[in-house]
Amino acid sequence: MPIDQRVMAHYTHGDLAGTILAALAQSGKDPDNLAQADLAPVDELHVGGRPATVEFAARLGVAPGMHLLDIGCGIGGPARHFAGDRGCRVTGIDLTEEFCRVAAMLTARTGLAGRAAYRQASALAMPFDAAAFDGAYTIHAAMNIADKRALYAEARRVVKPGGVFGLYDVLKGPGGAPHYPVPWAEDPSTSFLVSIEELRALLETAGFEILDLRDRTAFGIAFFHETRGRFAEDAPPPLGPQIIMGESYREKIANILRNMEEARAAPWEVVCRRV
């Protein structure tokens, strides 16, 4: 099976919309009138969750009214933050069609349908004109993409000269191969991590000037230690990572924490400018 199909199979739920809406109702939320914060337990599943999104967005220095591209948008949590809290217009793309449908549904229910939109597309062949966006970002998506040279070339193509490009991704550490499964992959066949040195070279070759680098490993370890009691519960809250990650979510979360503690994987933020 081609890599793209394996990645889509990993993330496709089948009834993700219905499961999330039912979990919201069980949590005492009104599914027809949602606040962004209501969705944080399920739509901010990258290392550090909502706090990481808020800090990352602030470091990008985006301004209200900018049109941003979210590459690998998932079900739209970060896009809704950029749209609702940062005042940007956001277009999100994701390889998984179900994610795009659910992102649009949740965005409408938070009152942001006019400011964030989603479409199914490959990050290696984006359906946009050159220089179509004021800036772009990607959060925990590149780990599933083998051809990173093509990924960053496409990102540069669609961003205007001088525009910002931000990455918050899990990179390869010096401690050896990661333990699997992890949230983004069941095994190494769909996991493609690079080191920070390799990432810098890829971005510079693509035509980006690197403005800022930040290792978020200590932050990620502290986050998971702080929240692991919630993840370890026999009966987790209805709205949580198990909806996206499936029954093995505890093992996946334990492994990403172990991988960070053993220097096998490290979350990094990178802020660039399109030359």
DSSP letter string, 139-206: ES-GGG-S-HHHHHHHHHHHEEEEEEEEEEEEEE-TT-SPPS-BTTBSSGGG-----HHHHHHHHHHH
pLDDT reported for residue 175: 98
Rounded Cα gap, residues 32 and 105, in angstroms: 10
Rounded Cα gap, residues 249 and 243, in angstroms: 9
Q: What is the model's pTM?
A: 0.96
Tell me whether strands 67-71 and 265-274 are parallel, antiparallel or unpaired: unpaired
How many CB atoms are located within 10 Å of the residue 180 CB?
17
pLDDT band at 1 (very low <50, low <70, confident <90, very high): confident
pLDDT reported for residue 27: 95
The label of the residue with tokens 């493609």 reads: 192
pLDDT reported for residue 131: 98
pLDDT at 234 over 70: no
At residue 6, the 3 state secondary structure works out as: helix
Share above pLDDT 90 across residues of the chain, in percent, rounded to a whole number: 95
Summarised one tens digit per residue, pLDDT across range 123-160 is 999 999 999 999 999 999 999 999 999 999 999 999 99
pLDDT at 191 over 80: yes
pLDDT reported for residue 212: 97
Using CA atoms, how far residue 172 sits from 29, 214, 265, in Å, is 39, 14, 5
Q: What are phi and psi of 129, to 5 degrees?
A: -70, 160
- Identity of the amino acid at 143: M
pLDDT reported for residue 44: 95
pLDDT band at 75 (very low <50, low <70, confident <90, very high): very high
pLDDT reported for residue 209: 98
Considering only CA atoms, which of 91, 212, 214, 201 is closest in space to residue 152?
A: 201
Region 19-28: what's the mean pLDDT? 97
To the nearest whole number, what is the mean pLDDT of the chain? 96
pLDDT band at 230 (very low <50, low <70, confident <90, very high): low
At residue 234, the 3 state secondary structure works out as: coil
Q: Which two tokens stand for residue 210?
A: 């690197």
The label of the residue with tokens 């490959």 reads: 122
pLDDT at 233 over 90: no
The answer to whether residues 172 and 124 touch, using CB atoms and an 8 Å cutoff, is no
Region 234-260: what's the mean pLDDT? 93
pLDDT band at 231 (very low <50, low <70, confident <90, very high): low
Q: What are phi and psi of 207, to 5 degrees?
A: 110, 30
Kindly list the structural domains of the chain, giving each domain's residue range(s) and its CATH number in brackets, ordered by start: 3-274 (3.40.50.150)
pLDDT band at 257 (very low <50, low <70, confident <90, very high): very high
Rounded Cα gap, residues 37 and 106, in angstroms: 12
Q: Exposed (0-12), middle (13-18) or buried (19+): which is 205, by Cβ within 10 Å?
A: exposed
pLDDT at 213 over 70: yes
